[in-house]
Structure 1
Amino acid sequence: MAIDFSPERWAQVRETYRQWWADELERPIIPIELIGREPGRPQPAAPLLTQATCADFSYTPTQLVDRIDYELSRKVFLGDAFPWVNLDVFGPGVAAAFMGARLDNASGRVWFWPPQENQPITDIHLEYNPHNPWLQRVLDICAAAMERWQGQVLVGMTDLGGNLDTVATFVTTQQLLMELYDHPEEVERLTWEAHACWHRFYADINAILQPINPGYSDWSGIYSEQPCYMLQCDFAYMIGPQMFQQFVAPELRASCQRLPRTFYHLDGIGQLRHLDMVLSIPELDGVQWVPGDGKADCAHWPEVYQKIHAAGKKIQVINGGLDAVAAVIAQIGSMHGIQYHVESAPISAEKELRTRLAAFGID
């Protein structure tokens, strides 16, 4: 059986998100994927593309896309869900690999390492290379996906990462903390070099995806008819507001100005000190708050969501399920501007989940 998603349902997704981006939608956006639909064909031999398998180039892009197609055909899309490929499978911050960093997935998770150890920061230069093998692999997979699905499935942008995070890959995190004091002008130079490369990679990938791809998304799963991205700077949890203002905020705002729609990935309690500065960026559309490992889920941070909402920004709830969505609605006193990441459940839960969606006004 083919993937169960019609052009009419895509039209509904576009209209729902059009209203949401325009602050006209009177309910939250909640996508739910049910797993267990009969795919109607045997499982292909190619492995599922993951961080553990992304370095295996023995399978063609067509074979990898066929395996993804099989997995999507096993899903039922409830609420605001749509068939979507999350290309974070090359690791968080793959732009570093596109610039020459070493990609290591021997552990089953992708890590990035500098191509040369102990290199002085003055000798490091981040450059665009259109022939980089990792970039070419991503482009080839995107091309195969467009040929296969012809707009039925949305292929999300790779997890390009944050630009100061990319600098940390090449300089190393501990050394970068010292370079902020010792060579601030070199840190700024590298950040803007990374920025220039990042936006070229974004354009290169979209040149393959569009105009066939039915929209734009990334690892967040947020849909847009215009280019959008979940921007980030995970390195920022280790620095104070003054350094954030100097080394992060200018580049972050520049990216918000270059992209029509943007969110910020606020990762961990160490980043809460930067929230006011993030919210002060007028071009930023929303914030995804991630409490972090070992912390209470998204239902338990009313002061964070109230501040985001009061600033006129949208909210992505990343965990905690539908209970967390209900909690955030109660905390901010509104259903406007809320999107839940993606909820996955077995197909046996369909009846219960349809009932729960109806409580939010979702068919």
Structure 2
Amino acid sequence: MRISETPAFTTDLKPDMEDAERRWLAFWNHEIIDRPLCAITAPRDGVEAIASPPYLSGYEGNHQQVAERALAAAQTMFWGGEAIPCYSPSFGPDLYAVWLGCDLKFGEASTATSWAVPSVEDWETAGAIELDPANAWWQQTLAFCRVLADTFDGHLLVAHMDQHSNMDTLLAMRGGVGLCTDLMDVPELIDRAMAQVQSTYAPIDMALREAGRMVGACGRIPAYHPDRTNTIQCDFAALIGPEHFRRWALPALEEEAAHLRRCLMHYDGPEMLIHLDDVCAIPGLECIQWQPGARNGPFMDWLDLIQRIQAKGLAVHVPCNTEDIRIYHRELDPALVYYRCTAPNQAEAEATLDWLVDNT
């Protein structure tokens, strides 16, 4: 475990940052100090709440305006326990494919989403998949991260972005029907495409870290490490069986986890569960963020699965409020849980942390 006199990141919004960093390091080692990891947020006492910028903010180039609003919003929040003051920029879920050459389209304002326009008709004739440093969306992303880093200095971390890399990038570039067909018809071309996409992962990751001055790192799911972390995922894996997963998705996820050194995985929907044993064996993957999906019942209904993941030695990310956390605490291993909790006010947030100490 890293031992330091001062935390890698200091902020005027969290005077207990040194203690929080110590607890995060214990979490990554599957240890506890006197309670489970709990990142709890609430409205800050004595100030009027300011809403954080909406999803996709900044894509129009108004970077400074968005940065100032994100900072103002963070200053009205209580960052309790292991909650790290941070803000994650995003122009949408398909941005990785856009950096590699796809066009980016935005929906109506009411939908608050964007998507990549598929650019590959045939992998045989498609050009090499590579990052053009002059790509307009790549340059805007870096510029946005730099503005955020300058504005947030001493206050907030720039958290990493929503990155759909590996097979999710191929999905965005080719489209779902085309990619599923290609896995059967031209698997050797998928081998080549995946190798090209994966060769971009580390350079893209490190360039974003440099632009956002991510010394002390929060991933897209806001887990903290003083060195490096992020969230990995492969939503496309829900559409493929174990053979294809092990050929393409699993090696890519293993490469990403090795680069990050420790990470969480966003795990989206019951269709993904066929791959759970393989996923839980990925070196460097320490925590699963299970997302059941709206059609599959509330998170609380999946306690058996959460306990099954813990039994494999991995931690679980548990979204909760101050009432639910007491139920989960009775059922889950406190050394293998990341509670991401919301409280109605600062006093209740602090009382919840005290309760966890008293009941662990």
Q: TM-score range by the shorter chain?
A: 0.7 to 0.9
Partner of 2:29: 22
**Corresponding residue of 2:339:** 340
Which of 14, 18, 21 is 1:11 aligned to? 18
CA RMSD after TM alignment: 2.6
Counterpart position of 1:144 = 147
Summarize the Cα distance change of 1:195–1:62 in structure 2 as closer, same or farther, 3 Å threshold: same
Q: How does 1:42-81 map to 2 (within 5 A)?
A: 49-57=53-61, 59=62, 61-81=63-83
Which amino acid is the alignment partner of residue 110 of structure 1? Answer: T
Is 1:197 the counterpart of 2:205 in the alignment? Answer: no
How far is the alpha carbon of 1:173 from its aligned partner?
0.9
Match of residue 170, structure 2, among 167, 170, 175: 167
Mapping of 1:290-301 within 5 angstroms?
290-301=291-302
Within 5 Å, give how 1:1-363 maps onto structure 2. Answer: 5-6=13-14, 8-25=15-32, 26-35=34-43, 49-57=53-61, 59=62, 61-87=63-89, 89-108=90-109, 109-114=112-117, 116=119, 119-124=121-126, 125-210=128-213, 213-317=214-318, 319-332=319-332, 334-343=333-342, 345-346=343-344, 349-361=345-357
Greater shift in the superposed pair: 187-196 or 352-361: 352-361
Percent of aligned pairs with the same amino acid: 23
Contact 1:139/1:205 (8 A) holds in 2: yes
| 3-state SS, counterpart of residue 78 of structure 2 | strand
Alpha-carbon displacement from aligned partner over 1:1-41 (angstroms, at most 9, x marks no partner): xx8514x4221221111122123314222222223656699
Query: Aligned partners of 2:177, 2:324: CA distance in 1, in Å?
Result: 36
- For residues 86-115 of structure 1, give each alpha carbon's deviation from its aligned partner in whole angstroms, at most 9, with x where no partner exists: 22x211242111112222222343332335
Paired with 1:280 and 1:302, the residues of 2 have a C-alpha distance of: 21
- CA distance in 2 between partners of 1:38 and 1:17 (Å): 29
Q: Comparing 248-257 with 142-151, which one deviates more in the overlay?
A: 142-151
1:336 is paired with a residue whose SS is helix
Deviation at 1:184, TM superposition (A): 1.0
1:36–1:328 CA distance, 2 compared to 1 (3 A): closer
**Structure 1 residues 49, 198: CA separation in 2 closer, same or farther (over 3 Å shift)?**
farther
Give yes or no for contact 2:258–2:283 (8 Å, CA) kept in 1.
no
State whether residues 74 and 85 of structure 2, in contact with CA within 8 Å, keep that contact through their aligned partners in structure 1: yes
Query: CA shift at 1:342, angstroms?
Result: 4.9
Q: Answer yes or no: is the 8 Å Cα contact 1:215–1:223 preserved in 2.
A: yes
How many residue pairs were aligned?
345
Moved more, 285-294 or 166-175: 285-294
CA contact (8 A) 2:42 2:349 kept: no
**How many angstroms apart in 1 are the aligned matches of 2:57 and 2:97?**
19
**TM-score, length basis structure 1:** 0.86
Unmatched 5+ stretches in structure 1: none
Using the TM superposition, give the Cα deviation of residue 337 of structure 1 relative to its aligned residue in structure 2, in angstroms. 2.3
Q: Which runs of 5+ in 2 are unaligned?
A: 1-10
* Residues 279-301 of structure 1, C-alpha deviations (whole Å, 9 max, x = no match): 12233222111111122322222
| Deviates most, 321-330 or 352-361 | 321-330
Shift in Å, 1:76 = 1.9
